[in-house]
Amino acid sequence: MIKAKPFDFPYDGNLDPAATALIVIDMQHDFLSKDGYFAKQGYDPSPLRAILPTISKLISTCRTAGIRVIHTRQGYRADLADMTPYEKWRRERSGMNGTDVLVRGSPGFEIVPEIDVRLEDIIVDKTCNSAFTYTDLEHILHARGITHLLFTGCTTDVCVHTTLREACDRNFQCLTIADACASGDQYAHEAAVHMVTVENGIFGALSDASAVLRALSELQNS
């Protein structure tokens, strides 16, 4: 089991790598670069870049343990047919109208090279904050027999938390790895992390990378 709060994960004590996936949310240039979407919104991307070594270690260890790695990428269709009037308004208000920021196929849409994406990994492209909305993620998880999810990535308070909440509503067992998630707003990050623990784990459990790595190492040696 993984040491976590408000309970050790998973709650039933059955940590099965074949039924578990590491979810890596939106580690793209548009969020981590100095001239991407996130920076253009006025946020410092350095907290997002700071979690890269932690996520990389988790990816490597999860692969060795037999845990599937799933990456998500946020972005609109190249023809912007899926961009709502409200999103167009937000884009124009932020001075990004006419740019390829958060557009599929653009350089900013790609996952940063520090993240080791392999052919056996699964990539889910999304338009909305949740990786479940208008995607085939849930179908993929059921097809693979995956019932337990480990959450990492950015941003903690938006795409990570939105996906986490929807996963819980879909009866997946969820663990958020706090130091493998980040936001440009530290207060929002801390609030999102705290919310995981309320009401005796209404959004699953909360842990850190060291506890996850230790549990996986023990699992492999057992």
Choose the catalytic residue: 126, 154, 174, 181.
126
HSE-CB of 67 using CA atoms within 13 angstroms:
28
Q: Is 126 a catalytic residue?
A: yes
Q: Is 26 a catalytic residue?
A: yes
Distance CA 102, CA 28 (A): 9
| Strands of the 122-126 sheet, one edge to the other | 122-126, 68-74, 20-25, 148-154, 173-182, 205-207
Distance CA 207, CA 172 (A): 17
Choose the catalytic residue: 62, 159, 174, 181.
159
Quote the tokens at residue 111: 């996952």
Choose the catalytic residue: 26, 154, 157, 181.
26
Q: Is 40 a catalytic residue?
A: no
What are the start-end ranges of the E strands in 121-189?
122-126, 148-154, 173-182
Phi-psi region of 73 (alpha: psi -120 to 50; beta: other; left: phi over 0): beta
Distance CA 11, CA 125 (A): 30
Distance CA 98, CA 137 (A): 30
Q: Cite the active site residues.
A: 26, 126, 159
